[in-house]
């Protein structure tokens, strides 16, 4: 509906993720899932079809079917490109080589990336992505809100997030202080600085929003760039944090 009603239709890109459910054992099963997704959206084609996760960690026998299925989606004209999620550099290279052999464009890899989740930098994933021409998509750039500047060790949200925040917040003070220092110097919010740091790593950013005010604030991360000195200061403080964000269980090597 949004795409149909959008004034600038060409700027609206539609994609879907295909989960590696246990009953999807053939490439045809993933192609069928993509077709079903298109029917639900009332579309005949989408820009991107992604693997929701790699099967390598828990169901490795399904990985060939997953790769074949995404390729079939492209070859059938259902999607303009394929993508991955939570693939580390080793698995990314394997999947990319498979698709390259079939002439299938591998355009994106979505991974957890923030000042509290720097594995893509440390594992060589960002370098591999650049080498292969795969765009990194960084999700959870605010670490569920820990890097928004709204919380500290004495102020945490209710519910499950609060349990996680109580574990991580006590060691975050120096990093949060540096974020606030940069935000004051830049005239930006703490959230905007944290998001911009992820963008400076070469990633497209996905930010969760619940209110129009949050959406407007997030847009303030665009149109400027942290200096190298600012990036380095934030990265150094992030390295010193004693406890980082929990990694996605499907993240591969």
Instruction: Give the DSSP letter string of 196-209.
Output: HHHHHTT-EEE---
pLDDT in the model for residue 45: 96
Specify the pairing of strand 204-206 against strand 48-51: unpaired
User: Which pLDDT tens digits describe the chain residue by residue (253 residues)?
Assistant: 666 666 666 678 899 999 999 999 999 999 999 999 999 999 999 999 999 999 999 999 999 999 999 999 999 999 999 999 999 999 999 999 999 999 999 999 999 999 999 999 999 999 999 999 999 999 999 998 899 988 877 777 778 777 787 888 888 999 999 999 999 999 999 999 999 999 999 999 999 888 889 999 999 999 999 999 999 999 999 999 999 998 999 999 9
Token pair of 206 as six digits = 């996905």
Q: Is the dihedral of CA 58, 64, 67, 70 positive or negative?
A: negative
Give the global pTM.
Answer: 0.92
């Amino acid at each position: 509906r949004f795409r149909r009603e959008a004034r600038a239709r060409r700027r609206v890109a539609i994609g879907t993720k295909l989960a590696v459910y246990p009953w999807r054992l053939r490439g045809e099963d993933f192609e069928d899932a993509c077709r079903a997704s298109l029917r639900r959206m009332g579309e005949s084609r989408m820009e991107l079809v992604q693997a929701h996760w790699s099967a390598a960690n828990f169901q490795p026998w399904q990985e060939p079917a997953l790769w074949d299925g995404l390729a079939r989606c492209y070859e059938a004209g259902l999607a303009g490109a394929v993508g991955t999620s939570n693939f580390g550099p080793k698995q990314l290279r394997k999947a990319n080589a498979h698709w390259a052999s079939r002439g299938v464009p591998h355009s994106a890899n979505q991974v957890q990336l923030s000042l509290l989740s720097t594995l893509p930098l440390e594992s060589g994933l960002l370098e591999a992505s650049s080498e292969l021409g795969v765009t990194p998509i960084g999700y959870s750039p605010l670490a569920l809100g820990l890097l928004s500047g709204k919380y500290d060790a004495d102020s945490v949200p209710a519910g499950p997030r609060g349990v996680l925040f109580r574990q991580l917040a006590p060691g975050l003070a120096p990093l949060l202080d540096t974020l606030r220092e940069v935000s004051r110097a830049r005239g930006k919010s703490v959230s905007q600085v944290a998001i911009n740091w992820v963008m400076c790593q070469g990633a497209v950013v996905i930010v969760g929003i619940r209110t129009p005010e949050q959406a407007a604030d997030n847009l303030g991360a665009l149109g400027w760039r942290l200096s190298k000195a600012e990036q380095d200061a934030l990265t150094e403080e992030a390295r010193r944090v004693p406890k980082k964000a929990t990694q996605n269980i499907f993240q591969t090597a």
